Amino acid sequence: MTIEQGNPTASQGSGVASQGGADQDSEETHQQRLTRNLHELLQELRVAQAGVQILFGFLLSIAFTEVYVRDANAFERATHLIAVLFAVASVGLLTAPAAWHRILFRQGKREEIMRLATRTTIAGLVCLSLAVAASVLLLAEMVIGGWAAFVIAGVCAALIMLLWFAVPMRERAD
């Protein structure tokens, strides 16, 4: 972190330059940084997991409603199944880092956990965004149907992709 980015240590005149990434305090060891990064990742996953668990529960409960059983057509059932499968994939991908951390605890594998966890977290968020889009499509199809359902789901998917992926990727490129 640089003085311009608000590093309180640097602004207090420590005179120590950053070594590594912009998020790394210059006095932080490699192991301390890995520990901090892992804790930050696990905290981020708690937020994402809450969302995917709520969505997953909602999707599971739909199949047991009278309206769904009685009125859902083949397209709605297929959309529902796709949403459930994306939610399942998201649950698996977003919970994997916590399982790895627990299983590999104190095995000196934090670097490997972080490398794999970053990839699975991004993949899990992609699956979650697709599960949300499919859920919106299902709901919109059952409520209003037709092309309007696809428009609504498309707008929601585009908004999520913009906020979750395009904006941070643009910032990362800068």
Q: CA angle, corner 60, sides to 85 and 121, nearest 5?
A: 45
Predicted pLDDT of residue 56: 93
Distances (CA, A) of 132 to 37, 42, 45: 28, 22, 17
DSSP single-letter state for residue 3: G
The span from the CA of 174 to the CA of 168, in Å, is: 10
Predicted pLDDT of residue 19: 40
The span from the CA of 80 to the CA of 124, in Å, is: 18
pTM for the structure as a whole: 0.75
Token pair in block for residue 109: 């594998």
Structural domain boundaries of the chain? 32-173
Predicted pLDDT of residue 25: 52
Chunked mean pLDDT (size 10), the chain, 174 residues = 35 37 64 80 81 91 91 94 96 88 77 86 94 96 94 97 92 84
Predicted pLDDT of residue 61: 93
DSSP single-letter state for residue 16: P
Q: Is the dihedral of CA 161, 163, 128, 99 positive or negative?
A: positive
Closest listed residue to residue 80, CA positions, set 61, 95, 93, 53: 61
Predicted pLDDT of residue 26: 66
Place of tokens 């643009």: 170
- Are 141 and 79 within 8 A, CB to CB? yes
